[in-house]
Amino acid sequence: MFKKGQSGNPAGRPKRKSFQKLLDEMLSLKLNELPPAFADVREVVGKGKNAKVIDLVEDKNKTLSEALTTQLLYKARRGDTSLIQAIMERMEGKPKQTSEIDLGEKAVKILTPLVLSIAKRKGMIEETEEK
């Protein structure tokens, strides 16, 4: 039995590495230190009988981060527009989106009385007698 106020697990939940720390560790490893599935940075080019396998990173002393960057840039250079966009947004930031709405005369007719009544209530303009 536990005493009142005493935890059943005084050491608490075991601490785990965050995803970011694990990712940082993996990205800093050399390709030759990784399991084969992670170290494979080859690209299949062409189809059918004309297909070739290209090793994008021949230097296995590069880190996974360097290899992924090489592969990313290779695919962007071959015309993958989503990667080109991702690289540009990473380097330059996402462009700010602006939009203009033209409500025309109808909006002026609707908003003018509203703005005037608010301005009158706030004492920004004097009330005038309407005839």
The model's pTM? 0.44
- Per the model's pLDDT, the better-predicted residue between 116 and 129 turns out to be 116
pLDDT for 1 equals: 64
Using H for helix, E for strand and C for coil, what is the string for 56-105? CCCCCCCEHHHHHHHHHHHHHHCCCHHHHHHHHHHHHCCCCCCCCCCCHH
Local confidence band at 101 (pLDDT 50, 70, 90 cut-offs): low
Residue in 89, 95, 27, 35 with CA at minimum distance from that of residue 63: 27
Average pLDDT over every residue of 72-82: 82
Mean pLDDT, range 66-78, rounded to an integer:
80
Whether the predicted pLDDT of 131 surpasses 60: no
Q: Residue ranges per domain, the chain?
A: 19-92
With contact defined as beta carbons under 8 Å apart, do 89 and 52 qualify?
A: no
Higher pLDDT, 30 or 34: 30
Q: Which residues contact 41 (CB under 8 A, 6 or more apart)?
A: 31, 55, 56, 57, 67, 68, 70, 71
Query: What pLDDT, on a 0 to 100 scale, did the predictor assign at position 103?
Result: 66
The sign of the torsion formed by the CA atoms of 28, 31, 35, 40 equals: positive
Tokens of 64: 């996974």
